[in-house]
Structure 1
Amino acid sequence: MKTNKTNEHPMQQDEIYELVATQLSDALTADESRRLNEWIGASEANREEYDRLVEVWNSTPDVSQLSQYDRHKAFAMFLERIQASGVVPAAKAADVVADDDADDVQPEAIGMRRYVLRFMRYAAVVTVLVCACSYLFYNIGQRNMSQAFAMIKVEAPQGSTTKMTLPDGTEVWLNAGSCIEYSQGFGVSDRHVQLTGEGYFEVHRNESMPFIVKSPSLNVQVLGTKFDFRDYPSDHSAMVSLDEGSVAVGLRSAHDGDYQYRLAPDQRAVLEKRSGNMRIENRATTDRLWTDGTIMLNGRRLADIAVDLERSYGTKILIENRELAQTRFYGVFHRKDQSLSQILATLAATGHIHYAINGNVVRIYR
Structure 2
Amino acid sequence: MEKKITNIDSLILSFLERTISSDELQVLRKWVKASNENEKYFRQFQESWLLSNGAFAKKRFHKEQAYQNFLDRIKKSDINVTKRPIALRKILYYAACIILIFGAGIGLQYGLRNHQNEEVMSYKLESPRKAKVKISLPDGSVVWLNASSSLCYNNQFGVSNRDLSLQGEGYFEISKNPQLPLMVTSGNVKVKVLGTKFNVQNYQDDDEIRVALQEGSIDFSDSRYEKSILMKPNQLIICNKKTGVLTLKDINTEYTNSWIHDDVFFNEEKLGTIAKVLERAFDVSIHFENEGLKNLIFYGDLKIEADNIIQIMDIMSATNKFNYRYNRDKKEILIFH
Q: What TM bracket, shorter-length normalisation? A: 0.5 to 0.7
Change (3 A) 1:338 1:357: closer
Q: Is contact 1:170-1:203 (8 Å) kept? A: yes
Change (3 A) 1:252 1:314: farther
Q: How does 1:339-350 map to 2 (within 5 A)?
A: 339-350=308-319
Residue 209 of structure 1: which of 169, 180, 197 is its match? 180
Per-residue CA distance 1:15-64 (angstroms, 9 max, x = gap): xxxxxxxxxxxxxxxxxxxxxxxxxxxxxxxxxxxxxxxxxxxxxxxxxx
Q: Is contact 1:216-1:252 (8 Å) kept? A: no
Q: How does 1:221-300 map to 2 (within 5 A)?
A: 221-253=192-224, 260-286=228-254, 287-300=256-269
Rg: which structure is higher? Answer: 1
Per-residue CA distance 1:277-298 (angstroms, 9 max, x = gap): 1121111343111111101122
Per-residue CA distance 1:77-121 (angstroms, 9 max, x = gap): xxxxxxxxxxxxxxxxxxxxxxxxxxxxxxxxxxxxxxxxxxxxx
Residue 218 of structure 1: which of 180, 189, 201 is its match? 189
The structure with the greater share of residues assigned to helix is 1
> What SS does the aligned partner of 2:325 have?
strand
Partners of 2:173 and 2:227 in 1: CA distance: 20
Q: Is contact 1:201-1:227 (8 Å) kept? A: yes
Partners of 2:261 and 2:117 in 1: CA distance: 41
Partners of 1:204 and 1:240 in 2: CA distance: 18
CA shift, 1:344, in A, is 0.3
Residue 290 of structure 2: which of 312, 321, 333 is its match? 321
Q: How does 1:1-366 map to 2 (within 5 A)?
A: 143-145=116-118, 148-253=119-224, 260-286=228-254, 287-336=256-305, 339-358=308-327, 359-366=330-337
> What SS does the aligned partner of 2:117 have?
helix
Q: Is contact 2:279-2:286 (8 Å) kept? A: yes
Partners of 1:301 and 1:237 in 2: CA distance: 13
Q: Is contact 1:247-1:264 (8 Å) kept? A: yes
CA shift, 1:337, in A, is 6.6
CA shift, 1:259, in A, is 5.4
CA shift, 1:174, in A, is 0.5
Runs of at least 5 residues in structure 1 that lack an aligned partner in the other structure? 1-140
CA shift, 1:217, in A, is 2.3
What residue identity is the alignment partner of 2:286? I
> What SS does the aligned partner of 2:305 have?
coil
Q: Aligned residue for 2:81?
A: none
What residue identity is the alignment partner of 1:272? N
Q: Is contact 1:198-1:230 (8 Å) kept? A: yes
What TM-score results when the alignment is normalised by the length of structure 2? Answer: 0.63
> What SS does the aligned partner of 1:290 have?
helix
CA shift, 1:210, in A, is 0.4
What TM-score results when the alignment is normalised by the length of structure 1? Answer: 0.58
CA shift, 1:142, in A, is 9.1
Q: Is contact 1:357-1:363 (8 Å) kept? A: yes
Q: Is contact 1:151-1:184 (8 Å) kept? A: yes
Identity, in percent, stands at 33
Q: Which deviates the most, 209-218 or 319-328?
A: 319-328
The structure with the greater share of residues assigned to strand is 2
Partners of 2:236 and 2:269 in 1: CA distance: 17
- Report the number of matched residues: 221
Runs of at least 5 residues in structure 2 that lack an aligned partner in the other structure? 1-113
Partners of 1:337 and 1:174 in 2: CA distance: 18
Partners of 1:185 and 1:193 in 2: CA distance: 11
